[in-house]
Amino acid sequence: MAIVRTTPPRPVDVPAVFPELASLARPAIRLHPRPGEPSVKESSVGGPLLWPADEPWPHCEGPHVDAGFRRPPAEVRMERRRRARLHRDPEGPACTPEEAAVKEQAAARLSERLDSALPRPADSPVPMLPVAQLYVRDIPLLRPPGQADLLQILWCAYDHEPNYKPATALFWRSAAEVVDILDAPPEPYEAEYDGYVPQPCLLAPETVTEYPNSLDLGPELSRVVGDWSRWQAAGAAVDDAYAEYPAEFYDSDLADSPGWKVGGWPPWGRTDPHPCYCTVCEARMVPLLTIASFEWDGETDGWVPYEDRAAAASDYPAGLSPAQPTGVEVGSTDNMQLYVCPESPEHPHTDLIQ
């Protein structure tokens, strides 16, 4: 990997303060996506996929909620680059020739669409967009089937009823078997929201240890982490401001890490825990990937990597926050969790917003 990110040590040793939680520790790999130009040979978020030229590109069959007239993915990416360029160089041109060309192309396509009697794009199968490409060599927590060593995740850039979220697709493959690579995958005519167009990012995978969110602990253990006297008796250095609600400190600074990650514990909070069960074998499914709207926020800034501390403390215009490097936004700035069957990675996956 070309970049490195390092999570600061947790301010409290969880198993030392709460031995009851020691057996619940789980490894997670924080992906730390950061804008870049990944190749098909690299793990990435929103980057190009190592996709066989002779294999059909995934399309979503719908049905789709008509998005109206939104922006095509190429224009979304271009606008992000333009804003970042102007942030770096406020005196630069409002639009470069390349940026103007993308805008003109998008306007021409919209005009053609308005003038034609063709069916709306949402009425036809919609090409899916790459969300993540993860090589097992970089993400050893992955459990591939057979000889596979590469996981590819895509989604549809339209909301889907009844839960109004992108439909997702997972593909396992052996990278060595891909000889001829698809150079120019199709893209959807438009994305329902800019947040459904992931910005190409390189990854800096880092393994951390996580513990369950307090909502996942059950009544007895929830009372344990919510008991201020236990914290005091253990000598845990926790701000007295948390005396009334110590479980909030546990959840924000000690339990599950924020941001994009593989494995670990679910980031509950927006919703109560919602167990998922395999539709084939009925096993309780486990977290595969967390697709996060933000890498950190005001409640989880203790997880900000050392290398991002200066950037996190700086002021940035809306849409350029270092806490949102992928440009992805799901739900109301929530997370999308992908779950897989622990008995077989080939069983159907599921996903939910939380």
List per-block mean pLDDT (blocks of 10 residues) for the chain, which spans 354 residues: 89 92 97 97 98 97 70 92 90 90 82 62 83 98 96 95 89 97 94 95 98 93 91 80 89 96 90 92 97 95 96 86 95 93 95 90
Q: What pLDDT sits at residue 115? A: 67
Q: Which amino acid is at 169?
A: A
Centre a 10 Å sphere on the Cβ of residue 243 and count the other Cβ atoms it contains.
13
Q: State the Cα–Cα distance between residues 199 and 203, nearest whole angstrom.
A: 12
Q: What pLDDT sits at residue 19? A: 95
Whole-structure pTM value: 0.94
Q: State the Cα–Cα distance between residues 135 and 12, nearest whole angstrom.
A: 33
Q: What is the pLDDT of residues 278-321, one digit of tens each?
A: 999 999 999 999 999 999 998 999 999 999 999 999 988 878 89
Q: What pLDDT sits at residue 239? A: 78
